[in-house]
Amino acid sequence: MLKIETITKIFSPGSINEKKAIDNLSLTLDKGEFVTVIGGNGAGKSTLLNCIAGVLETDSGKIYLGGEDITYMPEYKRSRYIGRVFQDPLLGTAFDMTIEENLAIAYSKAKTRGLAPGIRKSQSKLFREKLARLGLGLENRIQQKVGLLSGGQRQALTLLLATIVKPELLLLDEHTAALDPAASRQVMDLTRQLIMEHQLTTIMVTHNMKNALEFGSRTIMMHEGRIILDLQGRERTEMTVEKLIEHFSRKSGEVLDNDRLLLI
């Protein structure tokens, strides 16, 4: 499904600030696979996701999605196949537009937008149903502006926007990091529900070590732009948070350092 071949990303090459954020990284994901990603501050997790999504161009290497070479495809075209939820709840939605309008934009994701009406009656019904499934009561607020929603509600809505047209790949970058614990749990449950329901191939960056092991079927650990640990199957089911941290120190020779890191 997703095949990343030895990609490298260097910020400000040639200057004193030169930073190799992704270092000859390769990764292959099967269809339906759900991978969680952990790593310290500046490990290159967000950069990796941005390279896959096309926000950043890679300096070398190739990226294939569903067999197609997308290495040089612009961000907006890749988005037809890739759904994304960002860490910042403000980034996922248009705040001055209604919930319904936001959903309509997401719903026309796969086609060229023309002069047809943006919202049709039949769609409204579908949107209400989908919103009702979130269990947040948003189906009754469909005409309200998104700016009125809380962070958790926005992230739930962004998840829906990212998946209302089934994406081939879902990228989640610490999408609950800005939420309070209760909202975070709620959005996490929703995430799991949506991924299971649509059998979505997913990469989820998380700062929560427990979530990393608990969610999905595979966990990778990043350090200095490389994958230093790739856990699946039995090795993963037997892994604990303590052992994971120990593993990190051994592999990287450093103490795992992430200011948002949650160990429990």
Partner 1 sequence: MNVQVLFGSIELGMIYAIMALGVFISFRTLNMPDLTVDGSFVLGAAVSAVMCTSGHPQAALGTAFLAGCIAGSCTALLHTKLKIQPLLAGILVMLGLWSVNLRVMAGKANIPLINKTTVFNLLDGTALETYATMIIPAAIIIILMLLLYYFLKTELGLVIRATGDNEQMVRALGCNTDWTILIGLAVANGLVALSGAMIAQYQSFADITMGTGMVIIGLASVIIGEVLFGIKSLMRRLIAVVLGAMLYRLVIAAAYQLGMSPNDFKLVSALIVALALSMPVIKERYQIWKKRRENHANHLGEERKNA
Interface contacts to partner 1, rule CB under 8 A? 53, 74-77, 79-80, 83-84, 86, 90-97, 101-102, 104-106, 108-110, 113-119, 161-162
Q: What's the min distance (Å) between Cβ of 197 and ligand ATP?
A: 28
Q: What's the min distance (Å) between Cβ of 102 and partner 1?
A: 8
Cβ-proximal residue to Mg ion, closest one = 46
* DSSP 8-state code for residue 146: G
Closest CB to partner 1 among 115 and 255?
115
- Quick one: which of 188, 182, 190, 181 has its CA closest to 160? 190
- Quick one: which of 218, 234, 253 has its CA closest to 38? 218
Q: Which residue, chain included where needed, has tokens 């856990």?
A: 231
252 is in the binding site of which of Mg ion, ligand ATP, partner 1, none (Cβ under 5 to 8 A by kind)?
Answer: none
* Ramachandran bin of 234, using left for φ above 0, alpha for ψ from -120 to 50, beta for the remaining angles: alpha
258 is in the binding site of which of partner 1, Mg ion, ligand ATP, none (Cβ under 5 to 8 A by kind)?
Answer: ligand ATP
Closest CB to ligand ATP among 17 and 237?
17
Regarding 46 and contact with Mg ion (CB under 5 A), the answer is yes
Identify which range of 44-52, 113-121, 153-161, 193-201 contacts ligand ATP by CB under 6 A.
Answer: 44-52
Q: Can you spell out the DSSP letters for 75-100?
A: HHHHTTTEEEE-SSGGGSS-TTSBHH
- Quick one: which of 89, 62, 86, 84 has its CA closest to 73? 62
Q: Can you spell out the DSSP letters for 211-235?
A: HHHHSSSEEEEEETTEEEEEEEHHH
**Burial of 74 per CB tally in 10 Å (0-12, 13-18, 19+):** exposed
Among 25, 38, 44, 107, binds ligand ATP (CB under 6 A): 44
Q: What's the min distance (Å) between Cβ of 11 and ligand ATP?
A: 3
Query: CA 143, 144, 146, 152 torsion: positive or negative?
Result: negative
Q: What's the min distance (Å) between Cβ of 101 and ligand ATP?
A: 31
116 is in the binding site of which of partner 1, Mg ion, ligand ATP, none (Cβ under 5 to 8 A by kind)?
Answer: partner 1
Identify which range of 40-48, 72-80, 118-126, 189-197 contacts ligand ATP by CB under 6 A.
Answer: 40-48
157-180: buried (b, 16+ CB within 10 Å) or exposed (e) per residue? bbbbbbbbeebbbbbbbbbbebbe
Regarding 41 and contact with ligand ATP (CB under 6 A), the answer is yes
The site for Mg ion (CB under 5 A) is made up of 46
The site for ligand ATP (CB under 6 A) is made up of 11-12, 19, 21, 39, 41-47, 258
